[in-house]
Structure 1
């Protein structure tokens, strides 16, 4: 018999990683777009910086609230499905056993083996077996609203630091181009990091994120240039 060996997978990162990647990219892109748009309007560095900081606060809160509400809805649905499955197991265990058997038959087991597997898994953990194999709910991929909210908000602030830093350090006459350049480099880095963390092609992830970021900043600069603000 071959010895069991531990394997390292990335699926357990899905919940917080998705929220963190979304938060970081949104922090970089939205705040960069904001400061570039305001700078393109002719506003002074102080106004640009104030706008950027206000955007960071509002954006982080918005990301946290949005993630929490969205993932909480998923968690509520999961709880409702598990409660329904608990009732069905209590009221009609035979039908639930047949249902589990049918699931395993569809996955390639013979009728007899599927029935034996269903009996043994039901004896071990009936609700867990149905949650996993019928509903697709596992502990690894289960919705975690607070984790998603915190990851998204923290990542948003971390991403927003980059364009804000560019505004602080750039010469007053070159805030927009410096912010755009810094943001594009940052997006390439964040896209590459997210792809690497998730096991995806690094170059493709970096270019994809940078492309949409450049598009957003270009649109913001175009809109801002239509206004002429002094000071």
Structure 2
């Protein structure tokens, strides 16, 4: 697919950020919630700050590697699907170019163009970039939305580490006996920050994004606490 020019290259559309932003928000949210829950659980079981801090660092390291590897593998699977569809379109364009042009014209007719205009659009797009036209108009794939496994892995792993570092730091800096409340407060503040940053990066309403992240992050921690109490562990 050819690169599409933009009339405002210095101010790209927010959709161009969707791949890395999704991975970044997922990584940061998981880093905050999972590592905070781990620290609180360990702190409830033992008051030793060194043990709590070690558990937090271990959770941060393992979680970051897991998130990065998971994103790379899952997004690579998406890339494989896109490449398979691209090969199918190449074969179809080679073996049945007239049928593919008719299919493209039908797509544009369904979008509201007259038959004559749709035929003309299909002809021009086919002669300009047949594969790109079918990938975009038939399959909904474009450069802006193309899967990028390495980008997703880096975004998820790095944001997990940065976000998880906040409750870990709180556990090290909290006074003796105050690790749990300190970590919970820092966690809520971190969730608010994540919601605000994600909203700004994605051009979304900030209040709604903050509320969504805080509510679901708190819910996840509450469920963790409930499971801990169910099995006789005070979290």
TM-score (norm 1): 0.93
Q: Which residue of 2 aligns with 1:96?
A: 100
Q: Which residue of 1 aligns with 2:201?
A: 197
Task: Report the alpha carbon displacement of residue 219 of structure 1 after superposing the two structures with TM.
Answer: 3.5
Which of 182, 185, 196 aligns to 1:181? It is 185
Mapping of 1:1-231 within 5 angstroms? 5-6=7-8, 8-224=12-228, 226-227=232-233
Contact 1:37–1:217 at 8 Å: present in 2 too? no
CA distance in structure 2 between the aligned counterparts of 1:96 and 1:33, rounded to whole angstroms: 54
Cα deviation digits, residues 96-125 of structure 1 (max 9, x gap): 000000000000100000000100110111
Which structure 2 segments of 5+ residues have no match? 1-5
Contact 1:28–1:183 at 8 Å: present in 2 too? yes
CA distance in structure 1 between the aligned counterparts of 2:68 and 2:30, rounded to whole angstroms: 12
CA distance in structure 2 between the aligned counterparts of 1:37 and 1:64, rounded to whole angstroms: 24
Task: Report the alpha carbon displacement of residue 216 of structure 1 after superposing the two structures with TM.
Answer: 2.7
Task: Report the alpha carbon displacement of residue 43 of structure 1 after superposing the two structures with TM.
Answer: 3.8
Which structure 1 segments of 5+ residues have no match? none
CA distance in structure 2 between the aligned counterparts of 1:131 and 1:219, rounded to whole angstroms: 43
CA distance in structure 2 between the aligned counterparts of 1:171 and 1:213, rounded to whole angstroms: 25
Q: Which has the higher contact order (CA 8 A, sep 6+)?
A: 1
Contact 1:41–1:224 at 8 Å: present in 2 too? no
CA distance in structure 2 between the aligned counterparts of 1:116 and 1:37, rounded to whole angstroms: 65
CA distance in structure 2 between the aligned counterparts of 1:212 and 1:44, rounded to whole angstroms: 30
Task: Report the alpha carbon displacement of residue 41 of structure 1 after superposing the two structures with TM.
Answer: 1.9
Contact 2:47–2:177 at 8 Å: present in 1 too? no
Cα deviation digits, residues 87-146 of structure 1 (max 9, x gap): 000001000000000000000100000000100110111111111101111011100001
CA distance in structure 2 between the aligned counterparts of 1:179 and 1:112, rounded to whole angstroms: 65
Cα deviation digits, residues 56-110 of structure 1 (max 9, x gap): 1110111011111111111000000000000000001000000000000000100
SS at match of 2:144: coil
TM-score (norm 2): 0.91
In structure 2, the CA distance between the partners of 1:5 and 1:67, relative to structure 1 (3 Å rule), is closer
Number of equivalenced pairs: 225
